[in-house]
Amino acid sequence: MVINSPRGTADIFGDDIICRNLIIEQAKKLFKLFNYSQIITPAFEHTEVFDRGIGQSTDIVKKEMYTFLDRKGRSLTLRPEGTAPVVRAIIEHKLYSKIPVKLFYIGNMFRYERPQKGRMREFWQLGVEAAGVDNPVIDAEVIWLLALIFETLGFKKLKLLVNSVGCADCRPPYINIFKGYIKPHLESLCSDCRERYDTNPLRIFDCKVPSCAKIISSSPKIYSNICSSCAKHFNTVTDLLKALNIPFVIKEELVRGFDYYTRTIFEIISEDLESVQNALGGGGRYDKLIEQFGGPPLPSIGFAVGIDRTIVLMKQLSVSLSKEDSQSNVFVILLERRFEKYGLEFLNYLRKCDIRSDISFEIKKVGAQIKLAKKNEFTHAAVIGEDEATSGNITVKKLADFTQNQFNWKKDPHKIYDILK
């Protein structure tokens, strides 16, 4: 039997779980403050949701989706991203009676990519979608929220990149200009980019091959070719970011991997992460997607944060983890099996007091039990024998220095807090 998890997947435990819970906890606090409510969508959707949503010429749809037929021959796909499913749910449940619709999600995503550090085939994202508002104020608010998530985690060397990819009016003429520039260089581009030239030319901007990057560096950029209303929108976004004291860089080469984006796009990268997989999160406006799905015209914007990559960075920077383990906790040691019932009652009392606690399941010598308690990072131990079980007087030992305190847990139940201080 195979006992390793499939390539590109991971079990999450130990310090990773502590980091992950902290990220989710901080983000959820912010989502609440910013008035977002949670949505959970299925892990798989009808394939069409992604084909039409993300765009058939994108790398994700062309090469990275986990698509399968179910037993009735329906084509289903494990979600590679969170926006298209949320959009599908907004339309299906007509969630637009109150505008803006502000939703957040946390979920696992699946992409058949070449796995490496920070790039998985199953990975976790948290993200938001704000639907129904075209005012640039909401662009600034969404970007502000993204920046705050990393700020509250204590990350420093971050760069927020912003750009505008224009709209249905100004992007097609720009693409013609761009293709005109690229055409004489076609032979010098890598084979992927030669294909992109026909299917999705803007993706050439994402190519990491040095010869392609060189050609791109002097090409006309979409930023300087957007229409006046897109430019006005973008200028307001950047003015608002300045007003909110959020540092950003306009990166004219920034394009993102989904066809649905319009106008504002953004990405947050860490200068502490290795160059290729340094994006922690990103997003953008998608003004036409909901209409394209058959819903009402609801201009929208959202972002997704990569939880796994954020964990990598937290560990790399040794961001201090407020470990649950750093609080006091008690290991209950039983001297004989007949005290098990009494031990469970005492454990029940500790847990009702919100004190992390556990009990020995084997009867061994006290010394061995204390060793076990220390190994499991308990700060205190309580030994239960004949005297304790009859009187209710329990002695609690501090394992760091073996000082001890006695209290009667039935008569003086609050004393435990003083003892564990």
Q: Does 306 bind ligand AMP (CB under 6 A)?
A: yes
Asked, as a colleague might, if the bond just before 100 is cis with ω within 30 of 0, I would say yes
Q: Does 123 bind ligand AMP (CB under 6 A)?
A: yes
Given the complex with ligand AMP, which of 96 and 112 has the nearer CB atom?
Answer: 112
Given the complex with ligand AMP, which of 257 and 343 has the nearer CB atom?
Answer: 257
Q: Does 113 bind ligand AMP (CB under 6 A)?
A: yes
Least distance (Å) from ligand AMP to the CB of residue 70?
25
User: Which strand (E) or helix (H) includes residue 380?
Assistant: strand 380-384
What is the edge-to-edge ordering of all strands in the sheet holding 44-46? Answer: 44-46, 75-78, 67-69
The distance of Cα 329 from the centroid of its chain, to the nearest Å, equals 30
Q: Does 304 bind ligand AMP (CB under 6 A)?
A: yes
Give the three-state DSSP class for 340.
helix
Give the three-state DSSP class for 75.
strand
Q: Does 119 bind ligand AMP (CB under 6 A)?
A: yes
- Which 387-406 positions form the footprint of ligand AMP (CB under 6 A)? none
Given the complex with ligand AMP, which of 312 and 396 has the nearer CB atom?
Answer: 312
Q: Write the interaction track for ligand AMP spanning residues 254-293; mark x where CB under 6 A is met and - where it is not.
A: ---x---------------------xxxx-----------
Residue type, 201: P
How many other CB atoms are found less than 10 A from the CB of residue 252? 15
CA distance 162 to 144: 12
| Closest C-alpha among 84, 27, 94 to residue 257 | 84
**Residues binding ligand AMP: number (CB under 6 A):** 17
The DSSP annotation for 297-327 comes to: ---EEEEEEEHHHHHHHHHHTTPPP--GGGS
User: Which strand (E) or helix (H) includes residue 130?
Assistant: strand 122-131
Q: Which residue is nearest to ligand AMP (CB)?
A: 306
Q: Write the interaction track for ligand AMP spanning residues 78-97; mark x where CB under 6 A is met and - where it is not.
A: ---x----------------
Least distance (Å) from ligand AMP to the CB of residue 111?
5
Q: Does 125 bind ligand AMP (CB under 6 A)?
A: yes
Specify whether the CB–CB gap between 122 and 324 falls below 8 A.
no
Given the complex with ligand AMP, which of 113 and 192 has the nearer CB atom?
Answer: 113
Find the binder of ligand AMP among 308, 334, 380, 394 (CB under 6 A): 308
Q: Does 150 bind ligand AMP (CB under 6 A)?
A: no
Phi, psi of 104, rounded to the nearest 5 degrees: -125, 155
User: Which residues contact ligand AMP (rule: CB under 6 A)?
Assistant: 81, 111, 113, 118-120, 123, 125, 257, 279-282, 304, 306, 308-309
